[in-house]
Structure 1
Amino acid sequence: MHATDRTADADATAQSREAAVGGEWATMLWDDPITLQPYVVRVLMRRFGYSRARAHELMALAERDGRTAVAHGAREEQEMHVAGLHADGLIATLERVSA
C-alpha cells in the first residue's frame, strides 16, 4: 500500500466519522410545569435573540406538545445551547434531526 492510498483511506474514514456525528441537530426545549412562562420567554429572547412573540410561541409549543425545537444546526453549537438552557434552569436535550 502506498502512502497516498493510506492518506486516502484515512480521509475517507475521517469523512465517514464526521458524517456520523455531523449533520443537522436540534436543541429541544421540554415543558416544565414548575418554571414560570415569562421566565422561559425571557430566556429564549436572551439566548437566541427571538422576538417576544416568537419566544412566546415556542414556549407555548413546548407546553402544548411536551417539547419543541428552539434551534437547529451543527452538533457542537447545539450542545452549547443545551448547556446554556440547563444553566438557566430549563430542561433541554440534544436531538439529531432525521433526514
Structure 2
Amino acid sequence: MSDTQSATLEATSLDVPWNVVVHDDPVNLMDYVTWVFVKVFGYSQIRATKLMMEVHQAGRSIVWTGAKERAELYTQQLQGYQLKTSMERSSE
C-alpha cells in the first residue's frame, strides 16, 4: 500500500461517525441521568427522558452520533457526571 493510499484510508476512517453510548448502571437515578442529558447536550426534557428510558430498559442507548473529537468530548463529560459511557464507530 502506498503512502497516499494509507493517508486516504486514515482520513476516511476519521470521517466515520462515532456513537456516544450510555450504559445502564445500578447507581444513578433516572431523574439524574435525564438532567445530565439536558445539561450536556441541551436536549429537551422529552428527548432526554426518552433516551434515559432506553438506557434503563434496553441497557444502553446511543445518545449522540458525529465527529470523533466531539464524541470524545461528550464521552468525557458524561463520565465526569459518573455515567457509564463508551464510544463506538457508527455502522452508518
Task: Output the TM-score relative to the length of structure 1.
Answer: 0.84
The answer on 1:74 being equivalent to 2:67 is yes
The structural deviation recorded for 1:42 is 0.6
The answer on 1:31 being equivalent to 2:24 is yes
Write the distance in 2 (CA, Å) between the matches of 1:71 and 1:95. Answer: 11
Write the distance in 2 (CA, Å) between the matches of 1:11 and 1:46. Answer: 42
The answer on 1:90 being equivalent to 2:79 is no
Partner SS for 1:38: helix
Identity %: 32
The structural deviation recorded for 1:98 is 1.2
Write the distance in 1 (CA, Å) between the matches of 2:87 and 2:7. Answer: 23
Aligned match of 1:3: none
The structural deviation recorded for 1:76 is 1.1
The structural deviation recorded for 1:13 is 2.5
Aligned-partner residue type, residue 91 of structure 2: S
- Radius of gyration: which is bigger? 1
Partner SS for 1:44: helix
Task: Output the TM-score relative to the length of structure 2.
Answer: 0.90
Match for residue 37 of structure 2 among 23, 35, 44: 44
Q: Which ranges of structure 1 fall in alignment gaps of 5 or more residues?
A: 1-8
Aligned match of 1:55: 48
Q: Which ranges of structure 2 fall in alignment gaps of 5 or more residues?
A: none
